Amino acid sequence: MCGIVGYVGTRQAAPEVYRGLLRLEYRGYDSVGLAVLNGSSLGVVRKKGKVDAVREEIGGMIGTIGIGHTRWATHGAPSERNAHPLRSGKFAIVHNGIIENYRALREELEANGFVFSSDTDSETIAHLFALYDRGDLRETLRAVVRRLEGSFAIAALCEGAPNVIAAARRNSPLIVGRGETGYYLASDIPALAGCVQTVTVLKNGDMALVCADRVQIFDDRGEVRRQ
């Protein structure tokens, strides 16, 4: 097991995400990474090893929206190449879980011209975001999730959507918390201890668009259940 953290608000995101990742260390991990969006520019740092392997670099990651990941490798060796966040075009994604149909998806995506830079099952998710990108992140997220079999908690950033984290879960936990300066995402409640006043546990199959001042949660039919 391993973890996901996200933050969008008025503070610098990298230290907030880093702090949450440190609190998830007990879940086990072999590599770590963060992505921060600064305007329309994505910065990504990935390292093999412990969470503090990225400590030196987070000071240089500017931006108030970010996602982070600790990985427990299931597909592909524990290495920097396979560490998350994984990129495709305008997108950076983190994923916990296993994409069971990744072989078929990878063949399809390669036939569509996507080039893989890792050995993970998770990279298929990043390329699916790019494949289904029509400029509406909500619809792109729904299209991606429809293609996935297996278990996942996902958080994604898009260079064309500088104020929002897209998230989804199925058979892997994911929660959203509201703090004084913005919203947080995490795999479990201890990661957000002391940072948030309220917590919403996403239901199985839920998707979410998380902004600095609001969160929209919807199901696979696209019906909003919390705004």
Contact 96, 24 (CB under 8 A): no
- Taking CB under 6 A as the rule, does residue 23 contact ligand GLU? no
Q: Are 187 and 173 in contact (CB under 8 A)?
A: yes
Token code pair at residue 224: 């909003």
Q: Alpha helix (H) ranges present in 2-115?
A: 13-23, 55-58, 102-111
Binding status of residue 72 toward ligand GLU by CB under 6 A: yes
User: Which residues, 6 or more positions from 224, have their beta carbon under 8 angstroms from its beta carbon?
Assistant: 216, 217, 218
Cβ neighbours of residue 19 closer than 8 Å, sequence gap 6 or more: 195
CB of 94 to ligand GLU, least distance (A): 9
In terms of CB distance, is 23 or 178 closer to ligand GLU?
23
Q: What is the DSSP letter of 54?
A: G
Alpha-carbon distances, residue 37 vs 30, 42, 44, 163 (angstroms):
24, 5, 9, 9
Q: Does 16 bind ligand GLU (CB under 6 A)?
A: no
Segment contacting ligand GLU by CB under 6 A, of 37-45, 55-63, 90-98, 208-216 = 90-98
Question: Which CB, 12 or 151, lies closer to ligand GLU?
Answer: 151
Kindly write out the interface string for residues 107-126 of this chain, putting x where it contacts ligand GLU by CB under 6 A and - elsewhere. -------------xxx----
- Residue 71 CB, shortest distance to ligand GLU, in Å, is 4
Tell me how far, at minimum, the Cβ of 2 lies from ligand GLU, in Å. 4
CB of 164 to ligand GLU, least distance (A): 23
> Smallest gap, in angstroms, from Cβ of residue 165 to ligand GLU?
18
Asked if 50 and 70 count as a contact pair (C-beta separation under 8 A), the reply is no
| Identified binder of ligand GLU from the candidate list 2, 5, 128, 148, rule CB under 6 A | 2
Residues that bind ligand GLU (CB under 6 A): 2, 71-76, 82, 95-98, 120-122
